[in-house]
Chain A
């Protein structure tokens, strides 16, 4: 897992999101020799726990541990805590409340008739790294689909969300550039395997009743995503060639209100 993340010779969709903001933001996060190590926020921790509990439940106990409720102000509580940390060194620690949430979300996906079939362990594999060179820009790229279902020929991505309804999830797709991810990942699959694989979202809500919806983007959205990631790759390659990781333009720029405010 760490090997994939630490490879900065290839750019991922997360890297392109930063390039989309500015090359300077990408440099700060991935290339600055004095960059700070990424701190894991509770949201990121729960997100990765949900992915593992849902897609690789057999590995969950190796990577995560649940801190039992104990009073660390007491001598006994302190001793139990020390014993717990010693026994679970290297693992990510979840509180019981966090674990309950993770279990609820994973159960919602596992109990969903369609979602459960998409991520059937016997039909594919989770977290498969794909490494390829973009034919248009010669940019070395990497991605890691949540689940590759080889029987159905689809790439599956699990998204936790506040609202999995079609109208709201479409907004999330645009806001978080999931259409860019879909285009990049399907192109990666095609570049490596020479065949088409649809990109399917399993959207699951983070609060009860943990409703699940499954979506596939239309071609228009994929095309928009493709144009966006190819432009980002061009910017990345230009910045890399010049070793010039600029932020925003230095000149004064015109500014208008966004379209929705007009």
Chain B
């Protein structure tokens, strides 16, 4: 049974190499999502949640990643899907266009740097600084990781900025989980929906 599910997922990816899920393969994808969502090995947010699993399948299809990898790295923060920063770095490192991402940091600023393999050019992302984190209000939020682990947050944000500038197709227009947590949501509809669903 398990082998059959994996084969089905693989087929789904192989068959659909163009765009998003279409009406013709929606039923197929839904069956796959139903099977996957019944697994206890996937993250809790997807277990018995066919709609979320379906979205993860679609995302995986778009970027050519495995659905499980997407599920493990796609977080819903403030009601919005967002990538984990470590996933962005891994995706940039393995996309084949750049060397592994490096970081130039002095503890207060950080710039993500990589070599473009096709041209040999060294390219740098926008520099992120602690001053920026304070000015943008990222560091003043309750429980902000900028206060407790600034070095890691500098690198994560520098990687996100690099990816957004040089490989936007990997981020698919989405922010990282850390960015969403920092910036928050100006639309409280997701928060309200979540609260109402608990009542």
Residues of B within 8 A of A218 (CB): 185-188, 191
| Contact call B140/A136, Cβ cutoff below 8 A | yes
Stretch of B14-22, B115-123, B141-149 contacting A (4+ beta carbons < 8 Å): B141-149
| Contact call A219/B188, Cβ cutoff below 8 A | yes
Q: CA separation between A186 and B191, bound complex, in Å?
A: 15
Chain A: interface residue count, which band?
20 to 34
> A219-232 interface mask toward B, CB cutoff 8 Å, 1 = contact, 0 = none?
11011001100100
| Contact call B78/A216, Cβ cutoff below 8 A | no
- Least distance between A194 CB and chain B CB atoms (Å): 8
| Contact call A223/B142, Cβ cutoff below 8 A | no
Q: Is the CB of B4 closer than 8 A to any CB of chain A?
A: no
Q: Is the CB of A21 closer than 8 A to any CB of chain B?
A: no
Q: CA separation between A47 and B122, bound complex, in Å?
A: 66
Residues of B within 8 A of A135 (CB): 147
Residues of A within 8 A of B41 (CB): none
| Contact call A227/B142, Cβ cutoff below 8 A | no
Q: CA separation between A154 and B140, bound complex, in Å?
A: 21
- Least distance between B53 CB and chain A CB atoms (Å): 25
| Contact call A227/B195, Cβ cutoff below 8 A | no
| Contact call B137/A219, Cβ cutoff below 8 A | no
| Contact call A118/B78, Cβ cutoff below 8 A | no
Q: CA separation between A114 and B192, bound complex, in Å?
A: 13
> A144-160 interface mask toward B, CB cutoff 8 Å, 1 = contact, 0 = none?
00000000101000000
Residues of A within 8 A of B142 (CB): 186-187, 190-191, 196, 226
Which residues of B184-199 are within 8 A (CB) of A? 184-188, 191-192, 195-196, 198-199
Residues of A within 8 A of B78 (CB): 219
| Contact call A216/B137, Cβ cutoff below 8 A | no
Residues of A within 8 A of B143 (CB): 190, 194, 196
Chain B CB within 10 A, most for which of A118, A196, A216, A217: A216
Residues of A within 8 A of B188 (CB): 216-219
Residues of B within 8 A of A152 (CB): 195, 198-199
> B120-160 interface mask toward A, CB cutoff 8 Å, 1 = contact, 0 = none?
00000000000000000100111100010000000000000
Residues of A within 8 A of B192 (CB): 216
> A167-195 interface mask toward B, CB cutoff 8 Å, 1 = contact, 0 = none?
00000000000000000001100110010
Residues of B within 8 A of A219 (CB): 78, 184-186, 188
User: Known contacts A196-B142, A230-B140: does B184 contact A118 (CB below 8 Å)?
Assistant: no
Residues of A within 8 A of B147 (CB): 135
Residues of B within 8 A of A217 (CB): 188
Contact of B191 among A194, A198, A223, A226 (CB under 8 A): A198
Q: CA separation between A114 and B143, bound complex, in Å?
A: 29
- Least distance between A173 CB and chain B CB atoms (Å): 13
Q: Is the CB of A110 closer than 8 A to any CB of chain B?
A: no
> A199-231 interface mask toward B, CB cutoff 8 Å, 1 = contact, 0 = none?
010000000000000001111101100110010
Apart from A216-B188, A216-B195, A219-B184: 15 A-B pairs, beta carbons within 8 A: A114-B199, A117-B199, A152-B195, A152-B198, A186-B142, A187-B142, A194-B143, A198-B195, A216-B191, A218-B185, A218-B186, A218-B187, A218-B188, A223-B137, A227-B140
Binding site for A on B (CB under 8 A): 78, 137, 140-143, 147, 184-188, 191-192, 195-196, 198-199
